[in-house]
Protein backbone atom coordinates (compact mmCIF):
# COMPACT_ATOMS: atom_id res chain seq x y z
CA UNK A 1 0.00 0.00 0.00
CA UNK A 2 1.39 3.40 -0.99
CA UNK A 3 1.77 6.40 1.30
CA UNK A 4 -1.22 8.72 0.70
CA UNK A 5 -0.82 12.25 -0.59
CA UNK A 6 -1.15 14.77 2.22
CA UNK A 7 0.30 18.28 2.07
CA UNK A 8 2.14 19.98 4.92
CA UNK A 9 -0.05 22.26 7.06
CA UNK A 10 1.74 22.63 10.41
CA UNK A 11 4.80 22.45 12.64
CA UNK A 12 5.24 21.82 16.37
CA UNK A 13 7.41 20.25 19.06
CA UNK A 14 10.80 21.59 17.97
CA UNK A 15 13.48 20.33 20.36
CA UNK A 16 17.27 20.27 20.58
CA UNK A 17 20.05 18.14 22.09
CA UNK A 18 23.67 19.23 22.61
CA UNK A 19 26.05 17.06 20.59
CA UNK A 20 28.51 15.77 23.17
CA UNK A 21 30.79 13.55 21.08
CA UNK A 22 31.08 12.62 17.41
CA UNK A 23 34.11 10.31 17.09
CA UNK A 24 35.44 8.99 13.81
CA UNK A 25 34.21 5.42 13.40
CA UNK A 26 32.27 5.62 16.67
CA UNK A 27 28.80 6.67 17.74
CA UNK A 28 27.54 10.22 18.30
CA UNK A 29 26.33 10.95 21.82
CA UNK A 30 23.98 13.72 22.92
CA UNK A 31 23.10 15.62 26.07
CA UNK A 32 19.73 16.39 27.63
CA UNK A 33 16.90 17.43 25.34
CA UNK A 34 15.34 20.89 25.70
CA UNK A 35 12.36 22.51 23.99
CA UNK A 36 12.34 25.36 21.50
CA UNK A 37 8.70 26.17 22.20
CA UNK A 38 6.60 28.43 20.00
CA UNK A 39 8.20 27.42 16.71
CA UNK A 40 6.51 29.00 13.68
CA UNK A 41 8.89 27.80 10.98
CA UNK A 42 11.65 25.23 10.44
CA UNK A 43 13.36 25.69 7.07
CA UNK A 44 16.06 23.66 5.39
CA UNK A 45 17.82 24.35 2.09
CA UNK A 46 20.39 21.80 0.88
CA UNK A 47 21.64 24.29 -1.74
CA UNK A 48 21.52 21.54 -4.36
CA UNK A 49 22.90 22.25 -7.80
CA UNK A 50 23.44 20.48 -11.11
CA UNK A 51 26.16 20.94 -13.71
CA UNK A 52 25.56 19.81 -17.29
CA UNK A 53 28.18 18.25 -19.56
CA UNK A 54 27.81 18.48 -23.32
CA UNK A 55 29.54 16.23 -25.84
CA UNK A 56 28.89 15.06 -29.37
CA UNK A 57 26.49 17.97 -29.76
CA UNK A 58 24.26 16.61 -26.95
CA UNK A 59 23.76 16.80 -23.24
CA UNK A 60 25.39 13.54 -22.18
CA UNK A 61 25.79 13.88 -18.39
CA UNK A 62 24.65 15.85 -15.38
CA UNK A 63 26.62 16.14 -12.14
CA UNK A 64 24.71 16.91 -8.94
CA UNK A 65 25.85 18.02 -5.52
CA UNK A 66 24.69 19.82 -2.39
CA UNK A 67 26.26 22.97 -1.05
CA UNK A 68 26.07 24.97 2.15
CA UNK A 69 23.11 23.28 3.85
CA UNK A 70 21.22 26.13 5.55
CA UNK A 71 18.85 25.61 8.47
CA UNK A 72 16.56 28.22 10.00
CA UNK A 73 14.14 28.22 12.94
CA UNK A 74 11.63 31.01 13.64
CA UNK A 75 10.28 31.25 17.19
CA UNK A 76 7.73 33.37 19.03
CA UNK A 77 10.31 33.76 21.80
CA UNK A 78 13.20 31.82 23.32
CA UNK A 79 14.22 31.12 26.89
CA UNK A 80 17.44 33.11 27.57
CA UNK A 81 19.05 30.03 29.14
CA UNK A 82 18.33 27.99 26.00
CA UNK A 83 19.62 30.79 23.77
CA UNK A 84 22.84 30.90 25.80
CA UNK A 85 23.20 27.12 25.39
CA UNK A 86 22.70 27.33 21.63
CA UNK A 87 25.10 30.25 21.20
CA UNK A 88 27.79 29.19 23.66
CA UNK A 89 27.10 32.30 25.74
CA UNK A 90 27.04 32.84 29.50
CA UNK A 91 23.73 32.97 31.37
CA UNK A 92 23.74 33.59 35.12
CA UNK A 93 21.53 35.43 37.60
CA UNK A 94 18.97 36.16 34.88
CA UNK A 95 21.56 37.89 32.68
CA UNK A 96 22.74 36.87 29.21
CA UNK A 97 26.33 37.88 28.51
CA UNK A 98 27.58 38.27 24.92
CA UNK A 99 31.35 38.00 24.43
CA UNK A 100 33.64 37.95 21.43
CA UNK A 101 35.03 34.59 22.51
CA UNK A 102 31.61 32.87 22.40
CA UNK A 103 31.59 29.79 20.19
CA UNK A 104 28.32 28.18 19.09
CA UNK A 105 28.44 24.41 19.73
CA UNK A 106 26.80 21.69 17.66
CA UNK A 107 23.28 20.41 18.32
CA UNK A 108 20.71 18.01 16.96
CA UNK A 109 17.40 19.66 16.06
CA UNK A 110 14.09 17.80 15.67
CA UNK A 111 10.52 18.84 14.96
CA UNK A 112 7.10 17.47 14.10
CA UNK A 113 5.54 18.32 10.73
CA UNK A 114 1.75 18.06 10.47
CA UNK A 115 0.17 16.91 7.21
CA UNK A 116 -3.35 17.46 5.93
CA UNK A 117 -5.56 14.72 7.34
CA UNK A 118 -3.70 14.41 10.65
CA UNK A 119 -0.58 12.44 9.68
CA UNK A 120 2.64 13.55 11.37
CA UNK A 121 6.19 13.58 10.08
CA UNK A 122 8.99 13.79 12.65
CA UNK A 123 12.33 15.02 11.32
CA UNK A 124 15.78 15.31 12.88
CA UNK A 125 18.99 17.04 11.79
CA UNK A 126 21.90 15.40 13.59
CA UNK A 127 24.55 18.12 13.65
CA UNK A 128 23.61 21.80 13.46
CA UNK A 129 25.18 25.09 14.45
CA UNK A 130 23.42 28.45 14.73
CA UNK A 131 24.69 32.01 14.43
CA UNK A 132 23.81 34.70 16.93
CA UNK A 133 20.37 36.03 16.01
CA UNK A 134 19.55 39.51 14.78
CA UNK A 135 17.63 41.79 17.13
CA UNK A 136 15.01 44.04 15.50
CA UNK A 137 13.18 46.00 18.20
CA UNK A 138 10.61 48.67 17.29
CA UNK A 139 8.22 50.91 19.18
CA UNK A 140 4.60 49.86 19.56
CA UNK A 141 2.31 51.61 17.10
CA UNK A 142 -1.37 51.60 16.16
CA UNK A 143 -1.14 47.90 15.37
CA UNK A 144 0.89 45.12 16.95
CA UNK A 145 3.73 43.61 14.93
CA UNK A 146 5.21 40.49 16.47
CA UNK A 147 9.00 40.32 16.16
CA UNK A 148 10.13 36.71 15.85
CA UNK A 149 13.39 35.20 17.02
CA UNK A 150 15.09 33.79 13.93
CA UNK A 151 17.93 31.34 14.35
CA UNK A 152 19.96 30.89 11.19
CA UNK A 153 22.69 28.33 10.75
CA UNK A 154 23.72 25.19 8.95
CA UNK A 155 23.65 21.43 9.27
CA UNK A 156 26.66 19.24 8.54
CA UNK A 157 27.25 15.51 8.35
CA UNK A 158 28.14 13.56 11.48
CA UNK A 159 31.81 12.64 11.57
CA UNK A 160 30.93 9.25 13.04
CA UNK A 161 28.69 8.01 10.21
CA UNK A 162 28.33 10.69 7.52
CA UNK A 163 24.59 11.13 8.14
CA UNK A 164 22.80 14.48 7.92
CA UNK A 165 19.17 13.86 8.86
CA UNK A 166 16.30 11.40 9.14
CA UNK A 167 12.53 11.62 8.73
CA UNK A 168 9.51 9.35 8.54
CA UNK A 169 5.74 9.72 8.05
CA UNK A 170 3.05 8.26 10.29
CA UNK A 171 0.89 7.46 7.22
CA UNK A 172 3.63 5.32 5.65
CA UNK A 173 2.49 1.68 5.98
CA UNK A 174 6.04 0.54 6.84
CA UNK A 175 6.75 3.20 9.46
CA UNK A 176 8.39 2.43 12.83
CA UNK A 177 5.91 3.35 15.57
CA UNK A 178 8.50 2.91 18.33
CA UNK A 179 10.82 5.43 16.68
CA UNK A 180 8.00 7.98 16.41
CA UNK A 181 7.14 7.57 20.09
CA UNK A 182 10.74 8.25 21.16
CA UNK A 183 11.57 10.89 18.54
CA UNK A 184 11.44 13.92 20.83
CA UNK A 185 13.25 12.40 23.81
CA UNK A 186 16.17 10.62 22.08
CA UNK A 187 17.88 11.30 18.72
CA UNK A 188 16.64 8.58 16.39
CA UNK A 189 18.80 6.70 13.87
CA UNK A 190 17.81 3.96 11.47
CA UNK A 191 19.32 1.37 13.83
CA UNK A 192 18.04 2.81 17.13
CA UNK A 193 16.57 0.05 19.29
CA UNK A 194 13.70 1.44 21.38
CA UNK A 195 12.94 -1.90 23.05
CA UNK A 196 12.25 -1.50 26.78
CA UNK A 197 15.24 -1.67 29.12
CA UNK A 198 14.48 -3.66 32.29
CA UNK A 199 16.38 -4.19 35.52
CA UNK A 200 16.24 -6.83 38.26
CA UNK A 201 17.63 -5.98 41.70
CA UNK A 202 18.94 -8.70 44.03
CA UNK A 203 21.09 -9.02 47.14
CA UNK A 204 24.73 -9.56 46.23
CA UNK A 205 26.87 -12.44 47.37
CA UNK A 206 29.47 -10.26 49.06
CA UNK A 207 29.12 -7.99 52.09
CA UNK A 208 26.63 -5.11 51.78
CA UNK A 209 26.17 -5.41 48.01
CA UNK A 210 23.22 -5.25 45.61
CA UNK A 211 23.26 -6.37 42.00
CA UNK A 212 21.39 -4.63 39.16
CA UNK A 213 20.93 -6.86 36.10
CA UNK A 214 19.86 -4.95 32.96
CA UNK A 215 18.41 -6.63 29.88
CA UNK A 216 16.45 -5.96 26.69
CA UNK A 217 14.21 -8.57 25.13
CA UNK A 218 11.79 -9.03 22.25
CA UNK A 219 9.69 -11.91 20.96
CA UNK A 220 12.83 -13.28 19.33
CA UNK A 221 14.92 -13.30 22.51
CA UNK A 222 17.59 -11.19 24.20
CA UNK A 223 18.93 -8.09 22.46
CA UNK A 224 22.56 -6.98 22.55
CA UNK A 225 22.93 -3.41 23.82
CA UNK A 226 25.37 -1.11 25.60
CA UNK A 227 25.33 1.22 28.59
CA UNK A 228 28.38 3.34 27.98
CA UNK A 229 27.42 6.86 29.07
CA UNK A 230 30.40 8.34 30.93
CA UNK A 231 28.08 9.63 33.68
CA UNK A 232 26.10 6.40 34.05
CA UNK A 233 27.60 5.30 37.39
CA UNK A 234 26.90 8.75 38.83
CA UNK A 235 23.29 8.59 37.62
CA UNK A 236 22.89 5.15 39.17
CA UNK A 237 24.21 6.39 42.52
CA UNK A 238 21.76 9.31 42.59
CA UNK A 239 18.68 7.80 40.91
CA UNK A 240 18.60 4.20 42.14
CA UNK A 241 17.17 4.70 45.61
CA UNK A 242 18.11 2.26 48.37
CA UNK A 243 16.40 2.60 51.75
CA UNK A 244 17.03 0.62 54.94
CA UNK A 245 13.75 -0.96 56.08
CA UNK A 246 12.59 -0.23 59.62
CA UNK A 247 9.66 -1.39 61.71
CA UNK A 248 7.99 2.02 61.50
CA UNK A 249 8.62 5.21 59.59
CA UNK A 250 10.12 5.94 56.23
CA UNK A 251 13.47 4.23 56.78
CA UNK A 252 16.99 5.49 56.20
CA UNK A 253 18.43 6.34 52.82
CA UNK A 254 21.61 4.52 51.84
CA UNK A 255 24.62 5.64 49.82
CA UNK A 256 25.99 3.22 47.23
CA UNK A 257 28.98 3.05 44.92
CA UNK A 258 28.27 1.21 41.66
CA UNK A 259 30.73 -0.65 39.42
CA UNK A 260 30.31 -2.69 36.24
CA UNK A 261 30.80 -6.39 36.94
CA UNK A 262 29.50 -8.18 33.83
CA UNK A 263 30.44 -8.29 30.99
CA UNK A 264 33.47 -6.20 31.96
CA UNK A 265 35.19 -3.60 29.81
CA UNK A 266 33.14 -2.61 26.79
CA UNK A 267 29.71 -2.27 28.41
CA UNK A 268 28.14 -4.49 25.70
CA UNK A 269 26.22 -7.74 26.00
CA UNK A 270 22.72 -9.22 26.09
CA UNK A 271 22.77 -8.81 29.87
CA UNK A 272 24.71 -6.17 31.78
CA UNK A 273 25.27 -6.47 35.53
CA UNK A 274 26.37 -3.73 37.93
CA UNK A 275 27.18 -4.22 41.62
CA UNK A 276 26.47 -1.54 44.19
CA UNK A 277 28.21 -1.49 47.55
CA UNK A 278 26.44 0.23 50.46
CA UNK A 279 28.88 2.72 51.93
CA UNK A 280 26.48 4.37 54.42
CA UNK A 281 22.98 3.92 55.78
CA UNK A 282 22.88 0.13 56.32
CA UNK A 283 25.04 -2.74 57.55
CA UNK A 284 25.25 -6.48 56.92
CA UNK A 285 22.02 -8.40 57.65
CA UNK A 286 19.86 -5.27 57.26
CA UNK A 287 16.80 -5.37 55.01
CA UNK A 288 16.61 -2.74 52.27
CA UNK A 289 14.24 -1.72 49.48
CA UNK A 290 15.54 -0.69 46.04
CA UNK A 291 13.74 1.38 43.42
CA UNK A 292 14.33 3.39 40.25
CA UNK A 293 11.77 5.81 38.86
CA UNK A 294 10.43 6.33 35.36
CA UNK A 295 12.28 8.56 32.86
CA UNK A 296 15.52 8.46 34.83
CA UNK A 297 18.98 9.12 33.39
CA UNK A 298 19.82 5.43 33.82
CA UNK A 299 19.66 4.65 30.09
CA UNK A 300 21.08 2.36 27.44
CA UNK A 301 23.03 3.55 24.40
CA UNK A 302 19.75 4.09 22.53
CA UNK A 303 18.61 6.63 25.12
CA UNK A 304 15.94 4.31 26.54
CA UNK A 305 15.39 4.87 30.27
CA UNK A 306 15.14 1.78 32.42
CA UNK A 307 11.57 0.79 33.22
CA UNK A 308 10.54 1.92 36.71
CA UNK A 309 10.68 -0.87 39.28
CA UNK A 310 10.76 -1.36 43.04
CA UNK A 311 12.13 -4.33 44.96
CA UNK A 312 11.39 -4.80 48.63
CA UNK A 313 13.15 -6.46 51.52
CA UNK A 314 16.49 -7.56 50.15
CA UNK A 315 18.68 -8.83 52.99
CA UNK A 316 22.24 -7.62 52.75
CA UNK A 317 24.97 -10.24 53.12
Give the DSSP H or E segment for 272. Answer: strand 271-280
**What pLDDT shows up at residue 248?**
56
DSSP letter for 305, please. B
Q: Is 287 exposed, middle or buried (0-12, 13-18, 19+ CB in 10 A)?
A: middle
As a whole number of angstroms, the distance between CA 168 and CA 176 comes to 8
**What pLDDT shows up at residue 60?**
97
- Domains, the chain, in order of start with CATH, read 8-182 (no CATH), 197-315 (2.60.40)
Answer yes or no: are the C-beta atoms of 179 and 110 closer than 8 Å. no
Phi, psi for residue 57 in degrees, rounded to 5: 60, 25
Check the CA dihedral 184-186-191-193 and report its sign. negative
As a whole number of angstroms, the distance between CA 311 and CA 314 comes to 8
Q: What is the DSSP string of 35-86?
A: E--SEEEEEEE---EEEEEEETTEEEEEEEE----EEEEEES---HHHHHHH
Q: pTM of the predicted model, to two decimals?
A: 0.81
**What pLDDT shows up at residue 266?**
46
Q: Kindly compute the dihedral angle of the four CA atoms of residues 125, 127, 132, 134, in this order, to the nearest 10 degrees.
A: -20
- Helix/strand/coil (H/E/C) assignment for every residue in 166-198: EECCCCCCCCCHHHHHHCCCCCCCCCCCCCCEE
pLDDT in tens, the chain (317 residues): 689 999 999 999 999 999 999 999 888 989 889 999 999 999 999 999 999 999 999 999 999 999 999 999 999 999 999 999 999 999 999 999 999 999 999 999 999 999 999 999 999 999 999 999 999 998 999 999 999 999 999 999 999 999 999 999 999 999 988 899 899 999 999 988 899 999 999 999 899 999 999 999 887 788 888 887 878 999 999 999 999 987 655 678 999 999 998 875 445 568 899 999 999 999 999 999 999 999 899 999 888 999 999 998 899 99
As a whole number of angstroms, the distance between CA 109 and CA 88 comes to 16
Amino acid sequence: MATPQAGVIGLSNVVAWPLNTDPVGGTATYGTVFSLAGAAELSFDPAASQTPYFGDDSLIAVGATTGFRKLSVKLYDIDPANLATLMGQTYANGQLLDKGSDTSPYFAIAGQVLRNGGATQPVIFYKCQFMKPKSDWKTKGATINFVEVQLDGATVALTSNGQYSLTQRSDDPSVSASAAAAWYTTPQFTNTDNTALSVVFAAGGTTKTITATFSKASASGAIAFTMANSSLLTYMASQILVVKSVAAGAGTGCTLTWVLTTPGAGFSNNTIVFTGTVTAGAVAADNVTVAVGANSSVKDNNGVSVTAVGKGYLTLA
